[in-house]
Amino acid sequence: MTRLSRAASWPSPWPLLLGLCFITWLVGLALALPYGVDGAVRHWEGELNDHVMIALPPAGNSRTADPAGDLLPPLRAAFPNLQATRLPERDVERSLAAWSPPWEGPLPVLISLTHHGDMADLTSFVHQQAPEAMVIPPPPQLTKLAPLLKSLRHAASTASLAAGFAAALVIPALLHLGARTIALANTGQLALLPALGGRTSSLHHILARRMALMVFSGSLAGIVLLVPSLVFITSALRPLLRLPPFSGIIPALYPQSFLPPALWGLFILTPCLMALLGWGMVHLVCRRQERRPS
């Protein structure tokens, strides 16, 4: 360590360290919130029963010999995203047994399909093709849940935006406060250095490096707190999402947390970015102080 490094005064680092730790944790949560909510909602929607059943009269009671065979091609042509399957008789029998007492008579033809569009369109098309068909829509879970999920998404976005806005104000303010405190603590040194034939920029570099190190440490502590926080939140949500409990630590972090890899990359980079900001802020404040001594 050079004499100039030892000459540099250093105020107590704890306020800045704790402040940056908290704000990094908050920013991390704010960034993770919309992704997490979106991923959870998608998962939830995927778990919902969206199977539509089309019941057709048995072949003997129908106008055509193969009602399912007549209906499926135009149906697939009209709704390309539709996944329609004619259920085998064994499955039909089991389904009917689950609905009511033993079915008497010939088994109807059942077509199972997943449809995410408008049910009315599907029903009218099916009735055009096969007037005697009965379209059984899925239970109206999604219809009931949609407003809730929409509100959830909206709330997550709003909370994220508010936290991001707060962070955008607080982080520069915190860094400026830290840099200003450091510059003021070293006013005497910065004033004396030119008189001795030294470059003030040498001291600026030393102060900026220390500030960057401190900011990095504070931010890293925030990220270290953030990861278990995310794991805890996701663990709490897993029963609601009908997911098995976490197995191990590493799989718990990345694939099952609904967060995209880019966000994890951003979390890793955050301490470096904050350190860069702190470094630049010290240079800026010191230069301004040099031009306009307080």
Rounded least distance, CB 14 to other proteins, Å: 20
Q: Which is nearer to other proteins, 8 or 71 (CB)?
A: 8
Q: Which is nearer to other proteins, 173 or 192 (CB)?
A: 192
CB-wise, 7 or 134, nearer to other proteins? 7
Binding residues for other proteins, rule: CB under 8 A, are: 2-4, 6-9, 188-189, 191-199, 202
Nearest-approach distance from CB 228 to other proteins, in angstroms? 39
CB of 202 to other proteins, least distance (A): 8
- In contact, 111 and 133? CB cutoff 8 Å: no
The structure tokens listed for 144 are 């009931």
* CA 83 from centre of chain: 29
Residue 246 tokens, joined: 């976490």
Q: Which DSSP string corresponds to 141-194?
A: HHHHHHHHHHHHHHHHHHHHHHHHHHHHHHHHHHHHHHHHHHHHHTHHHHHHHH
- How near is the Cβ of 3 to other proteins at its closest, in Å? 5
Q: Is 70 exposed, middle or buried (0-12, 13-18, 19+ CB in 10 A)?
A: middle
Q: Judged by CB, which is closer to other proteins: 5, or 114? A: 5
Minimum CB distance to other proteins, residue 284 (Å): 18
CB of 286 to other proteins, least distance (A): 15
CB closer to other proteins, 8 vs 175: 8
By beta-carbon proximity to other proteins, the closer residue of 131 and 197 is 197
Q: Which is nearer to other proteins, 153 or 209 (CB)?
A: 209
CA 45 to chain centre: 16
Residue of 275, 273, 291 whose CA lies nearest to 17: 275
Torsional class of 211: left (φ above 0), alpha (ψ -120 to 50), beta (otherwise): alpha
Q: At its nearest, how many Å lie between other proteins and the CB of residue 181?
A: 16
Q: Which two tokens stand for residue 22?
A: 């908290």
Strand partners, 56: 109
CA dihedral 227, 231, 232, 238 (to 10 degrees): 160
Provide the sign of the torsion angle of the four alpha carbons 219, 225, 229, 232, taken in this order: positive
Judged by DSSP in three states, 147 sits in helix
